[in-house]
Chain A
Amino acid sequence: IAGITQAPTSQILAAGRRMTLRCTQDMRHNAMYWYRQDLGLGLRLIHYSNTAGTTGKGEVPDGYSVSRANTDDFPLTLASAVPSQTSVYFCASSVASGGLTDTQYFGPGTRLTVL
């Protein structure tokens, strides 16, 4: 593994179903982030984690939850998916949070469609 991996690459999901998007980094970065990218709205921060064991809410956290049990993994869970959660989801990481050490490196994304 080199960098950030995300799984699955794409998924079609029925509304009301539970879904976990996986994100793993091997760079030993302290901070990790989840964004969604929608046409015309750009990247919007869902949740973040400054270090293992801590998480925080971003700009659009409703309907999503995260956990950070260790440095490498940062899964994003949709407890009960709704069509408005159809989007491309990007996981990112940075050495630390704050300033230029917050330079973020992105994964390849997960395309999620909720029907």
Chain B
Amino acid sequence: QKEVEQDPGPLSVPEGAIVSLNCTYSNSAFQYFMWYRQYSRKGPELLMYTYSSGNKEDGRFTAQVDKSSKYISLFIRDSQPSDSATYLCAGGDFNKFYFGSGTKLNVKP
């Protein structure tokens, strides 16, 4: 079992839709969680990070962690075609991070 599991998609939504991207993780010791966005043929770029459980909001993006169910979510409001990319979740403890395989998102104009 992978440390972090993520549905690969692809997920296709119309412009303006609310997008929900999800991951599960297996190690209850994980304290730190991140979301990266990766455009085609580019390196991943950090979108958001959170510590422990709770929500964090940054503009149209909200990251949510539920440690009781080992569930990580990223919500995108008012999605834009420029949001089309692969989204990678990651979780870890003090020493190491583990990445999900990524969910490909396509926002149609």
On A, residues with C-beta under 8 Å from B are: 4, 35, 40-45, 58-59, 90, 92, 97-100, 102-109
Contact = CB atoms under 8 A, between A and B. Distances in A.
B43 A98 contact: no
- Interface of A, secondary structure class, is mixed
A108 B38 CA distance: 10
Contacts, number: 55
B45 A45 contact: no
Given A106-B43, A107-B43, A42 B95 contact: no
A108 B99 CA distance: 17
Given A40-B8, A102-B32, A45 B49 contact: no
18 contacts: A35-B99, A41-B101, A42-B2, A42-B99, A43-B88, A43-B99, A45-B97, A45-B98, A100-B49, A100-B51, A103-B34, A104-B46, A106-B43, A106-B44, A107-B43, A108-B42, A109-B42, A109-B43
Interface of B: 2, 4, 6, 8, 31-32, 34, 36, 41-46, 49, 51, 88, 92, 94-102
Contacts of A35: 99
Given A92-B43, A103-B46, 18 more contacts: A40-B101, A42-B2, A42-B6, A42-B99, A42-B101, A43-B44, A43-B99, A45-B97, A45-B98, A90-B43, A98-B94, A99-B94, A100-B49, A100-B51, A102-B92, A102-B97, A106-B43, A108-B43
Contacts of A90: 43-44
Nearest to B94: A98
A19 B44 CA distance: 24
Given A102-B97, A107-B43, A42 B102 contact: yes
